[in-house]
Amino acid sequence: MAALAAVALAVPAARAEDAPPRHQALLLLRVLAYDRNLKQRVGASAVVLVLYKAGDLGSESRRGSIRTAFEEVAREVVVSGLDVRVEELAYRSAAEMEDRVEALRPALAYLDRALEGSLPEITRVTRSHRILSADGSRSMVDGGVALGIVARGGRAVVLVNLPAARQEGADLDAALLSVAEVLRGEGEASRARERGERR
């Protein structure tokens, strides 16, 4: 667990809060291992579904980077004895996403930040299909995504929106929650930021 808490960023981020894709992939796969319900939620492998916005050049570029990072890390690790497989989906509608996730049974849906405007419909799908959602931005976690990996002070920080994670069927171990920044309720994140507190 110490490795999860002490991942230092090796390269500059594109935005102040962006952690490099490899750091995000590595930490998110490690976080999956702390979900006591993982094997109940997935099939024979831990599928990561990378969602991006069709026709958005920035989103398509980030999709390539994060997919490559997940594939590289997946060659090095297993998650709770499960092999990791990476798939992608150009998000157009919740109905199309429903069809894809029913076939794949993903453990994790990684959402590109260009999909922030579609969060309510996407999180309805992740919650109904018990898929842990993740992103690399604080605003997406504040908006209802379960997990985020952001850069802060030269380190990658794990953010957990605990109500969202529970609604998506995860039962995250206390060891993970003790080293993550945990958001426990609506509005708490903004109040904590205003006070400069770390949760």
Nearby residues of 38 by Cβ (< 8 Å), 6 or more positions away: 32, 46, 79, 80, 82, 107, 170
Q: pLDDT, tens digit, for every residue of 133-188?
A: 999 999 999 999 999 999 988 889 999 999 999 999 999 999 999 999 999 875 44
Distance CA 38, CA 98 (A): 20
Length of the chain: 199
Token readout for 52 is 């991006």
Query: Which residues sit opposite 35 in a β-bridge?
Result: 172
User: What token pair was written down for 49?
Assistant: 């579904």
d(CA 86, CA 173): 24
Query: Which pLDDT tens digit goes with each residue over 23-73?
Result: 999 999 999 999 999 999 998 899 999 999 999 999 999 999 999 999 999
pTM: 0.86
Domain boundaries, the chain: 2-195
CATH topology of domain 2-195: Rossmann fold (3.40.50)
Q: How many Cβ atoms from other residues are within 10 Å of residue 129's Cβ? A: 18
